[in-house]
Amino acid sequence: MKKNTEYIPNRDAVSAAVLQHLDGLRGIDTHCHHLSDDQFQNMGLKFLYDHSYCSWMDTYPDDEQAVQEFLLRNCSNSYFYWLRCAISELYHLPVNAAYLKELDKAIAKAYEDSDHHLRILEEQCRYDRILLDNYTHPGQVESTGKLFVPVLRCNMFAVCNCKSRKDHNGNNPSMYIPGIYEKNFDGYLEMISRYIRQYRVLKFAIAYDEGNRVRNFSKSRAAAAYGQENPSEAAYRDFYEYMVYYICRLAGEHGLVVQIHTGLGTMNDTSPIYLKYLIEALPNTRFDLFHGGYPWMDDLLGLLHNYPNVYADLCWLPLISTSAAKRFLREALEIGGNNRILWGCDTWTSEESYGAVLAFRRVVAEVLSEMCQEGYLSCEEACYTAGQIWRGNALKLFGV
35 and 61 together in one domain: no
Q: Is the domain of 99 the same as that of 142?
A: no
Residues 85 and 230 in one domain: no
pLDDT in tens, 316-330: 999 999 999 999 999
Q: Note the pLDDT tens digit of each residue in 41-53.
A: 999 999 999 999 9
| Residue 370 shares a structural domain with residue 229 | yes
Residue 177 and residue 195 in contact, taking contact as beta carbons nearer than 8 Å: yes
Composition of the chain by helix, strand, coil, percent to 5: 55, 10, 40
Rounded to the nearest 5 degrees, what angle is found at the Cα of 36, between the Cα atoms of 356 and 49?
45
Q: Are residues 54 and 159 in the same domain?
A: no
Query: Could you give the number of structural domains in the chain?
Result: 2
Do residues 144 and 250 both lie within one domain? yes
pLDDT at 225 over 50: yes
Q: For residue 333, is it within any domain?
A: yes
Same domain, 35 and 45: no
Residue 5 falls within a domain, yes or no?
no
Residues 51 and 35: beta-carbon distance below 8 Å: yes
pLDDT band at 7 (very low <50, low <70, confident <90, very high): low
The answer to the question of residue 165 being in a domain is yes
Out of 61, 88, 113, a domain closes at: 113
Averaged pLDDT of the chain = 96
Provide the pLDDT confidence category of residue 65 given band limits of 50, 70 and 90. confident
Beta strands, E only, the chain: 27-32, 127-133, 148-153, 201-204, 257-260, 286-289, 310-313, 341-342
24 DSSP assignment: T
Q: Are residues 299 and 182 in the same domain?
A: yes
Does 3 map to a domain? no
Closest C-alpha to 196, from 210, 184, 180: 180
Please check whether residues 324 and 266 belong to one and the same domain: yes
Q: Are residues 160 and 130 in the same domain?
A: yes
| CATH number, domain with residue 30 | 3.20.20.140
Domain range for 97 is 41-113
Residue 171 and residue 94 share a domain: no
153-190 pLDDT, tens digit each: 999 999 999 999 999 999 999 999 999 999 999 999 99
- Of 63, 93, 113, the domain-final residue: 113
